[in-house]
Structure 1
Amino acid sequence: MKSDRKSKLYVHLLFWILYYILEVYLDFYWSRYQFPGEEWQIRLQNTIVLELGYLLIKMPLAYSLLYVYEKTGVKRLISYIIYGCIIVAAVLVHRFFTHFIIYPHIYGVTETLDGKQPSGLINGLVAFNSFMDLIFMAGLIFGVEITRQKNLLKEQISLLKAEKLDQELTMLKAQINPHFLFNTLNNIYGMALKKADETPDVILQLSKVMRYNIYEATEKYISIDKDIENIKDFLQIQQIRHRDLVIRFNEEMDNPSQKISPLILIQFIENAFKHGVSETLGQSFLHIDMKLNKGVLHYHIENSKQEKPHGNSTKIGLKNIRRQLELLYPKHSLTAESTRDRYTVNLIIDFNDSSCF
């Protein structure tokens, strides 16, 4: 609310300054034909004074009309009547100021129509000129205010959309993490029952992964080297859980500080375990190739899987990830290929694309 009022104050202040300068310029230019004998300094001084007087008439008119416009409780017919009354009153004041103050006291002459015939206070032509002058100003201030309100509304809508996307992303990420946590805890429980020597190592790696998820992953963007470190901790846990698993991890980063949304890359690996490696009978494998070159990330994952004639579990697993990529990186490239015994995913993200942020 305060920012809206501040914005309105600045915009309207700028409008009146520019409008006043425009009116001074136009009246000064016109006065050299109306009073050709006067020195330009006197004409400029007179123009500055009379335009200040006109401003004292136009500003109350403008804000009276805006007040009626913004008061939504007023019916349309009644508002039109009020508009008319305000404008008629402003025209009368404008004419009084022009006829009795401007011409006799500033210009030192009687107001006339053609240099000979006196105009009078109420005359159709001069009253119409006053009306057009006031309506021109009212149209400008209405245009400025309506444009300001529309821009403010766009900003508010953009903020709401951003908040909605952030909430959706948070929910989507939350759908991934519990699955890994519960499975790992179940494995630790089984290892503890067997009194396996690797149990402390798994607990330590799990604590590092959870620390990352609780603290680091709350940021909107983090450096890609931190995300890779979390992936490696995750893989060490999985290597202990799956003794027959063959993991190959290749990385080539020309800019380890490149910003990326946390937990995006690891979800492809989680999906590979959830719907591929964990279901593979016998020896399983997971190959990961990651290359970042000049702001473009190429991410390749290939994992073993058990053939399921009617299964679509991998597609279900990728649905969540696709939605997050659509929200975060609209112009990404993601392809997936499934064969009888393996599943391959290729992801390309161009961080140089401004739409990614």
Structure 2
Amino acid sequence: MRSTTQSKLYIHLFFWILYYMLEAYLDFYWSRYQFPDFKWQIRLQNTLTLELGYFLVKIPLAYSLLYIYEKGGINKLFKSFLSVIIVIIAVLGHRFFTHYIIYPYIYGVTETFDGKLPSGFINGLVAFNSFMDLIFMVGLVFGVEITRQKNLLKDQISMLKAEKLDQELTMLKAQINPHFLFNTLNNIYGMALKKADETPDVILQLSKIMRYNIYEAAERHISIEKDIENIKDFIQIQKIRHRQLSVVFNEDVDNPSQEISPLILIQFVENAFKHGVSESLGNSFINIDIQLKNKVLHYSIENSKEERSGGNSTKIGLKNIHRQLELLYPKHNLQVEDKSNRYIVKLMIDFNDTVSI
């Protein structure tokens, strides 16, 4: 709130400085023809003085109308009536200052109409000139303030959208972690029933992965190097259980520090194990290829599956991960091929075109 108030103060102060310079220039230029006998130094001094005097009328007028415009709970008809009264008072003040102060005391002459006839305090044409001068200034002030408020509203909407996306991503990640833990504990449970010697090693690997999920995955972005390391740890756990599994892992990354949202890539690997390898009766395989070149990621996973395996078992996980990709990488490309004996996922992410959250 304080920064918003300060920003408003600076913007309006900057506006009045520019407006003062503009009006002073115009009046100084006009005085060349109205008072040709005056030296330019005198005309400049008079111009700067009279513009400061006009501010005593213009600034109260501008902010009185702004206050009425922004004030809620007031009837529109009453607002209009009050605005008209304020403008009339301002025009009278403008005329009084011009007629009784500027001409006799600053320029030392009597105000004239069209340079010949004496001009009274109220004259139709000069009063209209005062009115137009004031309305022009009010229009500028309203334009500045409305533009400032629109930009402020736009920033607030952007912040709310970012917070909403952040909350949604947090919820999506929270859905991933229990899902991953549940699957891995099922694997450990199966090994424990068989009293497998590798069970302690798997538990240790799981501890490492969960440490990653708790600390690293809480970050908005991590290096792709850490994300790949987590995938390798996950594969190591699964290979202990699936002894007839063939895993081919190709990695070609030109920038290991490239940031990526955590827990996206591993979901495809998890699906390959759960809905592909785990349902295969014979020898099974998983081929993983990760390539990062010039900030463009190409990621593909191909896994074996039984012909009887249904194609709907991975829909929940893919729906979750697809939503994350939409939020973070709107122009990603995700292709899924569900064939009779294999399942293929291809993902392309261009890190040059990402959403900042």
**Scaled by the length of structure 1, what TM-score is found?**
0.96
3-state DSSP class of the match of 1:299?
Answer: strand
1:61 aligns with 2:61: yes
Cα RMSD over matched residues?
A: 1.5
Confirm or deny: 8 A CA contact 2:337 2:343 kept in the other structure.
yes
Per-residue deviation, 1:348: 1.0
Confirm or deny: 8 A CA contact 1:20 1:51 kept in the other structure.
yes
Gap change, CA 1:261 and 1:342, over 3 Å in 2: same
Deviates more, 1:56-65 or 1:263-272: 263-272
Per-residue deviation, 1:271: 2.0
Structure 2 runs not aligned, ≥5 long: none
Aligned match of 1:112: 112
Confirm or deny: 8 A CA contact 2:191 2:241 kept in the other structure.
no
Q: Distance in 2 between matches of 1:111 and 1:271?
A: 89
**Scaled by the length of structure 2, what TM-score is found?**
0.96
Per-residue deviation, 1:323: 1.1
Structure 1 runs not aligned, ≥5 long: none
| Corresponding pairs, count | 357
Q: Which amino acid aligns with 2:207?
A: S
| 1:182-201 equivalence runs, <5 A | 182-201=182-201
Q: Which amino acid aligns with 1:278?
A: S
| 1:5-154 equivalence runs, <5 A | 5-154=5-154
Deviates more, 1:141-150 or 1:197-206: 197-206
Aligned match of 2:229: 229
Q: Distance in 2 between matches of 1:310 and 1:267?
A: 18
1:245 aligns with 2:245: yes
Per-residue deviation, 1:354: 5.3
1:213 aligns with 2:249: no
Q: Which amino acid aligns with 1:156?
A: Q
Confirm or deny: 8 A CA contact 1:224 1:258 kept in the other structure.
yes
Confirm or deny: 8 A CA contact 1:302 1:344 kept in the other structure.
yes
Q: Distance in 1 between matches of 2:21 and 2:104?
A: 24
Confirm or deny: 8 A CA contact 1:275 1:317 kept in the other structure.
no
Q: Distance in 1 between matches of 2:281 and 2:168?
A: 36
Q: Distance in 1 between matches of 2:257 and 2:297?
A: 13
Confirm or deny: 8 A CA contact 2:333 2:348 kept in the other structure.
yes
Per-residue deviation, 1:210: 0.8
Indicate the percent of aligned positions where both proteins have the same amino acid. 76
Q: Which amino acid aligns with 1:209?
A: I
3-state DSSP class of the match of 1:192?
Answer: helix
Gap change, CA 1:332 and 1:145, over 3 Å in 2: same
Deviates more, 1:276-285 or 1:127-136: 276-285
Per-residue deviation, 1:310: 5.8
Query: 1:74-101: CA deviations, max 9, x gaps?
Result: 1110000010011111111111111111
Q: Distance in 1 between matches of 2:310 and 2:295?
A: 39
Q: Distance in 1 between matches of 2:199 and 2:309?
A: 37
Aligned match of 1:264: 264
Confirm or deny: 8 A CA contact 1:331 1:355 kept in the other structure.
no
Deviates more, 1:237-246 or 1:26-35: 237-246
